[in-house]
Amino acid sequence: MKLHRLAMNDGQSIPQLGFGLWEVPAEQTARVVREGLAAGYRLIDGAAIYGNEKGLGEGLRETDVPRDRIFVTTKVWNDRQGRTEARRAVEESLERIGLDRIDLILIHWPCPHRDLYHDTWKTLIELRDEGRVTSIGVSNFHEAQLQRIIGETGVVPVLNQIELHPRLQQADLRAFHKAHGIITQSWTPLGQGRSFDAAPVRQAAARTGKSPAQIILRWHLQIGCSVIPRSTRAAGLAENIDLFDFALTDDEMAGIASLDAGERTGPDPMRFN
Ligand code: NAD
């Protein structure tokens, strides 16, 4: 199976579908990485705060899949923002994962009250120019914060990883991303299962013979997002990549669009510091 890739604004590309490592226990991470790669995934979403970058690196060394076919993301945590700290944080992540260069680094949260995200962004630009990281992006940024870093540096993040699922569809931010060539990447894409029983999801599942999770993941792909579901089980990883032998109809897409309730499962990025 060849996974579709999305073109990024810096000339690179990213697999549209990957898997995430949040809350994957450190001692299970190498196995999950190996099993994910064996299932066909080529995008792995990590973060320093997940506490499992070493396991991520182990999995990369143990798999048969060549390194240059795998796209690895990690993130700078909130207490490592600022010019000097962010540089140290990225070097430490590379060291823990065991890489000389990483595919993508994100600022994990803007932390507006700390007001260091723009300095952190300047450091990521330097690290990219030095070849320590191929692409740079952000996570949990609002439009005003994106505008500020773009305005101060002229460098547009390749993607913004945000909470996005049927009950929080983020249409305005997605439109802003589209207008600026920023990929939208969905975190907590399954929305804690809160839409699994909703009629549009159940009906599409009944028509296609797919699970509610597969219907929702397919919806993310069809609205053009990159998506990074998490499962620690090989069967779950396999289920979440089995999305390419069906498509949702326009009516089914409209039905899922109607489920938007502006409802977060995680913190509000404007207040999370
Ligand atoms: P998710 O939407 O992927 O859901 C994970 C939960 O759903 C787990 O409990 C899992 O067991 C269950 N699940 C997985 N596949 C399923 C299936 N097919 N059927 C039924 N249940 C299933 O949530 P997530 O882990 O919160 O988000 C995905 C990834 O996004 C994370 O692992 C992480 O990499 C990233 N993330 C980023 C941020 C951020 O601030 N940038 C925040 C949260 C998550």
Residue with CA nearest ligand 1 atom 11? 231
pLDDT tops 70 at residue 116: yes
How far, in Å, CA of 64 to CA of 37, rounded? 9
To 5 degrees, how large is the angle CA 117–CA 120–CA 123?
155
Residue with CA nearest ligand 1 atom 14? 231
Read off the pLDDT of residues 28-81 as tens digits, 9 standing for 90 and up. Answer: 999 999 999 999 999 999 999 999 999 999 999 999 999 999 999 999 999 999
Q: Is 50 an active-site residue?
A: yes
Ligand 1 atom at minimum distance from 162 CA:
41
Sequence letter at residue 117: Y
Domains with residue ranges and CATH for the chain? 5-193+220-233 (3.20.20.100)
Residue with CA nearest ligand 1 atom 20? 213
pLDDT given for residue 1 in this prediction = 64
- What is the chain's Cα-based Rg? 18
Ligand 1 atom at minimum distance from 189 CA:
2
pLDDT tops 90 at residue 170: yes
- Give distance in angstroms: CA of 254 to centre of ligand 1: 24
To 5 degrees, how large is the angle CA 264–CA 251–CA 197?
45
pLDDT given for residue 144 in this prediction = 97
Which residues on neighbouring strands pair with residue 163, listed in sequence order? Answer: 187
Q: Whole-number mean pLDDT of the chain?
A: 98
- Give distance in angstroms: CA of 155 to centre of ligand 1: 29
Helix axes 26-39, 234-241, angle to 10 degrees: 40
Read off the pLDDT of residues 181-232 as tens digits, 9 standing for 90 and up. Answer: 999 999 999 999 999 999 999 999 999 999 999 999 999 999 999 999 999 9
Report CA-CA distances (Å) from 11 to 7, 140, 177: 7, 23, 17
- Give distance in angstroms: CA of 255 to centre of ligand 1: 23
